[in-house]
């Protein structure tokens, strides 16, 4: 009898345990269902956890980014054309120069002495020329007299021939004196020119279209007063600042899209919030066989002189632009064997609808999508490969609200800052 009671007690405990487990499980399902913010999952269909992002409507641009360095298209080293001691530099770094401005002086004592010697040589040559002219006139007069006397047979033939020889000699001396004077004048001109070179001026070929404002600027000083210079020793680095030049190497894929006169946007690290207009000035007709890139030179207007040679520059080309298009993050469209699809979420029903789309312009981290009409809801950015049309979705608790679709926080078509 005791054994039967003991067996009955054990069976009763097992039954109570089973009932307790069933009640607990049912309560857990009810609580979970009540706590879920989504509609109940239809029988036979399991929800997929996803992340959502935003589809944007606006302008998309096909951009290409290149990097180069700003440089001065007109730059030269100013140097004296003669040697000597550098007496004084009249300008300093950053000073603005006009064509013909005096910038430095050399010690000119030696060149003044050379000019004075040349002047004396000219004076002596002029006196010798005057003497030669007088002798020629005397010889011509004597020749005329001897000719008359010879015709009257008053003088001998020998006297007449002597008069002819004296005339020829006088003419020869006059030619020599004339040549000596010309040589002395050339020496004087050379001495005066070298003396003028001791006054060093900034000079360059004028730019016709900018005759009123063709300035240059002192980039650096390369010598100081007291330095003993030889001819053509540089003393100043002179540059132009408006416009500037930026050189980039364009890859083969973009080469057919560029042409002379095409505009671009220039950005610098010094002015991250400013964009400067640039224009393609020259395009190399060949690509490097090593890099498959071509040299492209752009002119950058710089009227305010904010930009300086040597600055790092980012060049942005806009190859094409589309207005009023939809765009999503580039990794949102999911490739299938018959094309690309994306999934648009319906927050009311917690289901997704499949859209077959075509891809267009890429700008930054986003890509243009077309086909299937307007995108009137958030799009699935993670987990789309597990979805099908009409699939129920759920969001992780940390992201119940649709998240921004990654990338830069800017409108489509807005150039990156």
- Token duo for residue 5: 């009671």
Residue indicated by tokens 């020793």: 233
Is residue 239 over pLDDT 90?
A: yes
pLDDT category at 171 given cuts 50, 70, 90 is confident
Q: Measured between alpha carbons, how far is 290 from 252 in angstroms, rounded to an integer?
A: 12
Residue indicated by tokens 């190399």: 284
**pLDDT value of residue 417:** 45
- 378 CB burial (10 A radius; 0-12, 13-18, 19+): buried
**pLDDT value of residue 109:** 93
- Token duo for residue 36: 């879920």
- Token duo for residue 64: 């290409």
| Sign of CA pseudo-dihedral 323, 325, 331, 335 | negative
Instruction: Tell me the per-residue pLDDT of 241-292, one tens digit each, with 9 for 90 and over.
Output: 999 999 999 999 999 999 999 999 999 999 999 999 999 999 999 999 999 9
Q: Comparing C-alpha atoms, which of 406, 414, 392, 322 is closest to residue 55?
A: 406
Q: Measured between alpha carbons, how far is 240 from 302 in angstroms, rounded to an integer?
A: 10
Contact 53, 381 (CB under 8 A): yes
Strands, E, within 99-169: which ranges? Answer: 102-106
Q: Measured between alpha carbons, how far is 344 from 335 in angstroms, rounded to an integer?
A: 15
**pLDDT value of residue 403:** 44
- Say what the alpha-carbon torsion angle 153, 156, 158, 159 is, to the nearest 10 degrees: -90
3-state helix, strand and coil shares in percent for the chain, rounded to the nearest 5 = 30, 35, 35
Q: Measured between alpha carbons, how far is 236 from 244 in angstroms, rounded to an integer?
A: 20
Contact 279, 298 (CB under 8 A): yes
Q: Measured between alpha carbons, how far is 83 from 235 in angstroms, rounded to an integer?
A: 12
- pTM, two decimal places: 0.64
- Token duo for residue 92: 């300093």
**pLDDT value of residue 230:** 92
Q: Measured between alpha carbons, how far is 244 from 229 in angstroms, rounded to an integer?
A: 32
Q: Measured between alpha carbons, how far is 130 from 164 in angstroms, rounded to an integer?
A: 21
Instruction: Tell me the per-residue pLDDT of 54-110, one tens digit each, with 9 for 90 and over.
Output: 999 999 998 899 999 999 998 999 999 999 999 999 999 999 999 999 999 999 999
* DSSP designation for 392: B
> CA angle, 83 as apex, 81 and 87 as ends, to 5°?
100
Q: Measured between alpha carbons, how far is 179 from 315 in angstroms, rounded to an integer?
A: 64
| Sign of CA pseudo-dihedral 306, 309, 312, 315 | positive
**pLDDT value of residue 334:** 86
Helix (H) or strand (E) holding 184: helix 157-197
- Token duo for residue 156: 């001998």
Instruction: Tell me the per-residue pLDDT of 120-156, one tens digit each, with 9 for 90 and over.
Output: 999 999 999 888 888 888 887 777 776 776 666 666 6
Q: For 51, list phi and psi in degrees, rounded to 5.
A: -120, 150
Q: Which region among 6-15, 165-174, 237-246, 392-401 has the lowest average model confidence (pLDDT)?
A: 6-15
Residue 49 CB contacts under 8 Å (≥ 6 apart), including other chains: 383, 393, 394, 395, 396
């Amino acid at each position: 009898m005791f054994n039967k009671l003991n067996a009955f007690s054990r069976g009763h405990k097992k039954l109570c345990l089973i009932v307790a487990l069933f009640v607990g499980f049912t309560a857990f399902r009810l609580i979970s269902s009540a706590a879920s913010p989504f509609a109940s999952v239809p029988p036979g269909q399991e929800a997929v956890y996803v992340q959502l992002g935003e589809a944007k409507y606006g302008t998309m641009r096909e951009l290409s980014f290149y990097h180069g360095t700003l440089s001065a298209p007109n730059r030269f080293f100013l140097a004296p054309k003669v040697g000597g001691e550098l007496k004084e530099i009249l300008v300093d770094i950053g000073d603005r120069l006009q064509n013909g401005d005096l910038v430095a002086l050399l010690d000119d004592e030696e060149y003044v002495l050379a000019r004075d010697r040349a002047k004396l040589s000219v004076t002596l040559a002029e006196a010798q020329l005057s003497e030669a002219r007088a002798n020629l006139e005397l010889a011509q007069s004597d020749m005329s007299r001897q000719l008359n006397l010879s015709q009257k047979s008053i003088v001998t033939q020998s006297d007449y021939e002597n008069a002819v020889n004296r005339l020829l000699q006088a003419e020869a001396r006059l030619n020599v004196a004339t040549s000596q004077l010309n040589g002395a004048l050339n020496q004087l001109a050379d001495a005066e020119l070298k003396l003028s070179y001791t006054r060093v001026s900034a000079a360059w070929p004028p730019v016709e279209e900018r005759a009123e404002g063709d300035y240059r600027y002192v980039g650096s000083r390369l010598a100081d007063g007291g330095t003993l210079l030889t001819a053509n020793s540089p003393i100043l680095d002179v540059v132009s600042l408006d416009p500037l030049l930026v050189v980039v190497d364009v890859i083969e894929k973009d080469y057919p899209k560029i042409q002379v006169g095409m505009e671009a946007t220039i950005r610098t690290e010094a002015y991250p919030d400013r964009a400067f207009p640039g224009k393609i000035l020259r395009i190399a007709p060949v690509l490097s066989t090593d890099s498959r890139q071509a040299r492209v030179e752009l002119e950058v207007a710089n009227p305010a002189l904010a930009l300086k040679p040597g600055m790092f520059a980012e060049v942005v080309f806009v190859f094409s632009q589309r207005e009023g298009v939809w765009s999503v993050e580039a990794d949102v469209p999911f490739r299938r064997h018959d094309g690309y699809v994306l999934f648009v979420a319906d927050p009311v029903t917690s289901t997704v609808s499949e859209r077959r789309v075509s891809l267009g312009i890429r700008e930054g981290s986003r890509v243009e999508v077309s086909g299937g009409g307007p995108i009137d809801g958030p799009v699935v950015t993670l987990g789309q490969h597990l979805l099908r049309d009409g699939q129920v979705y759920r969001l992780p608790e940390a992201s119940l609200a649709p998240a921004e679709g990654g990338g830069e926080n800017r409108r489509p078509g807005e150039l990156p800052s």
